[in-house]
Structure 1
């Protein structure tokens, strides 16, 4: 981090303050309140030919990147964070640390990009893979093989059913088998869930989503509980592959982090109101949202989601795929688009996006609820259903 910048001592501050200041107060050199953007790809050495910064080339890091990483690490209460050019870049880098033939256990329903990549590695003989039904705790325990499993990967809440996995229990299972636990917390963010404090070893975020929150950045993040050999390998691979997040995207991410808490809380309030409204709707088969008492993961969610249940909601429309797609195309306020965590609400027919091999129900619409007035969102879905 640049010596010209004064740091806030964040250990005594609440997370909302850490996010709003992104760990820094004003820039000492200029007095700028908004964090500066360092675009240089290379940095000069001093008269003794020593780098003035801890790194001297952007593939190794950059002051703007470091500020974003340090803020995210502080929010997750991790030892360190690494940012990547995309979520999949972060995931594939982590999976590269699994030894040849190593065993990975993961849910059968989750973000399809991760599932497809795991199946690809299995088909190439790179790993062995067990996919389990995350709704059944005994299935998770049965999928982890003592002395063989290297990585237990979980998502919570699970995309797009928003089922909830008990992180503390999963950590105990993984560690008893000699494995590490990695948690995709994209849908919950550090606002409401902190997997590292519940026993996870690594947390993953598609930082494109809630951490940035403005639908204009592609980024991924890994945060570690301890600086071990595996973490050092992840950092080395990121440099060798050339996958760190670029300075401008890092700066946009910093901008997004400053409003993370207010955005997430508003989206959570809106999503809960929508879920309650449509839970008993005559044209909706079921509303899937962990904040509903009727949701099968609600009790676990109440324990580990301490500040709202997030903005992600799925609706099972009565009928089939054609009926669900028709609802998406009739929406006027909610945008029919892929992604989540932005300030604007989005809807997608998930089966179309994932393809015919997807385990997602044909009639499922995934909604990413934004920060608009909730009455406008309810009215929009009502007219689309009508």
Structure 2
């Protein structure tokens, strides 16, 4: 061990260059894997806010309150909460309301999920009898914020205008979906307005990518009275995108590893050539090829360990900084990547030193010591 430490400290320059090559390679691999993991998590969260990949509705012929199809929210919530592979779910209630003698679609929902939409004004406060209007509804009705005595609009559950209720229009939403043509209320307020307490029209479910079909099967078992459909376009698109991201990261990692191996091999070759006389002297005083090989592999292992740990730290910092800039929050890089980084560092370093070492070990000590 003392001989190994002396060998490393006497060649600080070469060791530093070799360790730096390993550090850079491991750092890029760790940051790529960390970012890939972070992108999958963050994209899943973004897609969760944007839309579901599974929709659960009542079967044809099943009825909710007032003879209209619907699901019991409590039963559906209990069933969905017990299914593995479901990241998130939310409920919506659909109907129609009369606004200014014009019938428009109504969506009752959790309006906190609209926080990522393009909003003019603000989101309604739960229980405050406030409404969010889609951009198309705004154009059709000619509504402006603050209209009609502080922005109050008269909504009714149908075109006849019965059971009218007053809500204040506090914001306009633009999403590029069906919400643009609807009036949106908090779910409980929509249930009250439409006289459908405890009933929902649909459960919008976010199943984990790759486990969509499994989740669908479990939902059908848990809710036999419901119709479960996969939004295949959403599910397939996100799976394809995530696969492309991971493939890109894998290709980058492979290219970096190959490049680093070539660079490190050149460094290690120069190191071995500089130490040919040392190798020849070891062989001349009785050192076996195995003993000499173990010594140089130990040096490579030490360099790999140093570069692997440093590479993990640098890669983790790079991944967190990149994700902070892209997503606004830093991804967490798992400690398991430290093990991967150390293993990669050792493998790269040892592999790069073996080829020139094998060539040097084939030379005769007398030839090496004469400098031939």
TM-score exceeds 0.5: no
Kindly indicate which of the two structures has a greater share of residues assigned to helix.
2
Q: Which has the higher contact order (CA 8 A, sep 6+)?
A: 2
